Structure 1
Amino acid sequence: MHPTFLTIRNIHSEIRMKATSHAWACIMYIPTPEYIMNHDFSGVLEVHLWHRCMDMVLQNLKVTAQVGEFMTDPMGCWCYAFTPLATHISDLPEQLMIACVSKNVSPITLAAPAQFDDGIVHPPQDGQSTINELITLGKIVDPWKVQEFLEWAKQQSLSGVHLLYWCDWWFSDPAIFLVPKLLHTCHKFFFNHILKWCKEVVGANELDARFHSQHKCVGMHHFTDGISHVNQMTGREHCNIQQRLVPTIVGVTTPGFVCALHALVDFIYKSQAPTFTDSSIGSMVASLNEFHAHKHFILEAEARTGASSPMGHFQIPKLELFNSFACSICKSGAVIQHSADASEWLLIMHCKTPFTWTSHQRSTFTQQVVTLVNHEDTMQ
């Protein structure tokens, strides 16, 4: 079962980012059934179910976003409030599912796969345009003939789901409410790509030796056994490696390679600022542009490799998302407030810990979870 958490954007970000502040509420557990059929077909049904569950639970918020509702604030005063969808924090696969686009395109912009590495800010993936395409497609093929509709949808780079939970939510646009998630967009990108490039050029043993020889520092993780063998890291370890990687590889790689990585690490660092000004956003964008100006040195070093040979491009979906950071910050605020720290802690509190309270029997698990949720609602 997949939990969904809800909070209010009016709460200050410093409070909202702390899981112990109880600023988030678990509003539902979305079931994750298993389908005995073709993988693509079952994937579409899963997305259909997800959107349907979201639509049912969030229906009242949609109505309130349209007509408003009287609510009391913390001071006990009555306010006429509206509930637009401000942000939906999710990783890249979830963003593709929400935007109802196929896996080979961007959920935020109209960039094609071949344009993922051009460093250009492409026009946004307008939500209304997606809805119009689905309506037009629905006039050609019955959307409930799922297999036929899916084949036609793929030709339009759509996922094949036509009932989107946000389509009737006023002022909702995936290009705006789908915000970057630092853990998956930046830190995972660093681990899966930047660190891998360094291992290819410097060598795993040499990189481990250089990290091992560094002086220990209070508050910093010291990688006694190196970093090449680590398959999974915490966010803190990601940050510690990012802070040390560039000076660690100096002298063993070309200056152009170091400059490209330095610019990209700078971009990731600057994107985590708690507040932004026009100049700080410009500095962040300048770092990304500097990377694109020097990225050919990475290809020349044959650092970007595929399954059997070096790759000659940077067509990485998450790299394309970096181009949207500046626009997202201007519209939705600092990226750091959408950190996954709170959500990861909430997953432990609402999934892993409650699971230990059940009998661990698959046949009765759903009913036991419902009972637990009812008890929590009663106590609140």
Structure 2
Amino acid sequence: MKPIYHPFWMDLPYSNVFLSITPDILHQVLQGFVKHVVAWIKRACNPAEIDARCCRLPLNHNVRLFLKGITPLSRLTGKEHADICRILLGIIIDLPLPNNIPSASLMRVVWAMLDFVYLAQYPIHSDDSLRALEDALRRFHENKHVFVEMGVRQDFNIPKLHYCSKHWCQQVEYFRTADNFNTEFTECLHIDFAKDAYRATNKKNEYPQMTL
């Protein structure tokens, strides 16, 4: 994103600084991969139809329903994106797409994305599960052109998408499953020590007040 002129790791022997970026379910998958795909769907399709489909889903005890729809929502949390994942396929079945694109094209790419999302969160991995993870990524890349055809993307040069596509399986082999590094566990401390602390200040010289 910005040039690094004299990185601390430039002359550090026996190290690869890029291995310090470990898989992160919250920020790379839910707030990255899922967030982008959901945003593209909302941008390409009729918002009223998407929200109406959310309202028509039957009540149940295991899935959160968004009775006012998902298009008016902003600043979604990782938990909310995870809840949207549970109903996303049901929302987009036979959804009319621009340029008369068949809805099956969108179904295939979302199906592959959801397969990756759930496989990435496995607490135990094997060679078979990692192959399934790579297969889900392959199917996503084979079908992602639908977002270009719908006019919502021109390219997919997105850092979080690149990381999930190129490095996730490798990092799991190096460092084991992603639940060991999920920043969702420490996000609650960010709320306590940053967000709530800022709200308690008078918004003037807030950093000394928050530190205190």
Structure 1 and Structure 2 fold alike (TM over 0.5): yes
Extract unaligned runs of 5+ from structure 1: 1-102, 104-157, 306-310, 373-380
Is contact 1:211–1:248 with CA below 8 Å preserved after alignment? yes
The equivalent residue for 1:277 is: 126
> What is the DSSP-based 3-state SS (H/G/I as helix, E as strand, rest coil) of the residue aligned with 1:179?
coil
Inter-partner Cα distance in structure 1 for 2:21 and 2:91:
35
Residue in 2 that maps onto 1:227: 70
User: How far did 1:357 drift?
Assistant: 7.5
Amino acid at match of 1:193: H
Q: Which has the higher helix share?
A: 2
Q: What corresponds to 1:97 in structure 2?
A: none
Q: Tell me what 2:41 maps to.
A: 198
Q: Percent identity?
A: 24
CA contact (8 A) 2:198 2:206 kept: no
Partner of 1:216: 59
**Residue 158 of structure 2 aligns with which residue?**
316
Q: Distance in 1 between matches of 2:73 and 2:148?
A: 25
1:172 is displaced (CA, Å) by: 3.7
CA distance in 2, matches of 1:167, 1:161: 10
Q: Per chain length, whose mean CA-contact separation is higher, i.e. which structure has more relative contact order (CA < 8 Å, sep 6+)?
A: 2
Q: Deviations over 1:288-315 (max 9, x none)?
A: 001111222332233x24xxxxx2x222
In structure 1, give the amino acid aligned to 2:147.
I
Offset at 1:218? 1.8
Change (3 A) 1:198 1:356: closer
Could you tell me whether the CA contact under 8 Å between 2:112 and 2:140 is conserved in 1? yes
Q: Look up the equivalent residue of 1:314 and give its one-letter code.
A: F
Once residues 359 and 190 of structure 1 are traced to their aligned partners in structure 2, the CA distance between those partners, rounded to angstroms, is 36
| CA–CA distance in structure 2, aligned partners of residues 347 and 233 of structure 1 | 16
Q: Which amino acid aligns with 2:112?
A: A
Structure 1 residues 66-89: Cα deviation after superposition (integer angstroms, max 9, x where no partner)? xxxxxxxxxxxxxxxxxxxxxxxx
The CA distance in 2 between the partners of 1:264 and 1:285, in whole Å, is: 11
Residues 340 and 257 (structure 1), Cα distance of their counterparts in 2 relative to 1, 3 Å cut: same
1:217 is paired with a residue whose SS is coil
* Alignment CA distance shift 1:360-1:221 (3 Å): same
Pair 1:186 & 2:35 matched: no
Determine if contact 1:358/1:365 at 8 Å carries over to the other structure.
no
Within 1, Cα distance between the matches of 2:206 and 2:30?
38
Q: For residues 17-43 of structure 1, what are the alpha-carbon distances to aligned partners after superposition, in whole Å with 9 as ceiling and x for unaligned?
A: xxxxxxxxxxxxxxxxxxxxxxxxxxx
8 Å contact 1:209–1:226 — kept in the other structure?
yes
Q: How many pairs align?
A: 205
Contact 1:208 1:228 in 2 (8 A): yes
Q: Which runs of 5+ in 2 are unaligned?
A: 97-102
**Equivalent-residue separation in structure 2 for 1:356 and 1:207 (angstroms):** 35
Distance 1:204 1:352, change over 3 A: closer
d(CA) in 2 for partners of 1:197, 1:354: 34
- Contact residue 31 and residue 77 of structure 2 kept, 8 A: no
Q: 1:168 to 1:345 in 2, by over 3 A?
A: farther
Matches within 5 A, 1:313-352: 313-322=155-164, 323-352=166-195
Distance in 2 between residues matched to 1:361 and 1:220, nearest whole Å: 42
Q: Is the 8 A contact 2:33 2:160 kept in 1?
A: no
Is the counterpart of residue 256 in structure 1 residue 98 in structure 2?
no
**TM-score scaled to structure 2, two decimals?**
0.83
* Counterpart Cα distance in 2 of 1:212 and 1:250: 15
Q: In the superposition, relative to structure 1, how do residues 353 and 279 fare at CA in structure 2: closer, same or farther (>3 Å)?
A: same
| Structure with bigger gyration radius | 1
Change beyond 3 A, Cα 1:360–1:249: closer
Q: Is the 8 A contact 1:359 1:365 kept in 2?
A: no
SS in structure 1 at match of 2:167: helix
2: distance between equivalents of 1:204 and 1:339?
A: 32
Corresponding position of 2:144: 295
Tell me how far apart the structure 1 counterparts of residues 199 and 15 of structure 2 sit (CA, whole Å).
Answer: 38
Deviation (angstroms), 1:278: 0.6
User: RMSD between aligned alpha carbons?
Assistant: 2.7
1:176 has 2:25 as partner: no
Distance 1:236 1:277 in 2: 26
Cα distance in structure 2, aligned partners of 1:330 and 1:321: 15
Q: Is the 8 A contact 2:31 2:78 kept in 1?
A: no
Paired residue secondary structure (2:29):
helix
Evaluate the alpha carbon distance shift between residue 172 and residue 206 of structure 1 in structure 2; reply closer, same or farther with a 3 A threshold. same
Superposed CA deviations along residues 172-229 of structure 1, whole A, max 9, x for unmatched, are 4222121122222111234542112222343111000001111122243210100001
Q: Which amino acid aligns with 2:6?
A: H
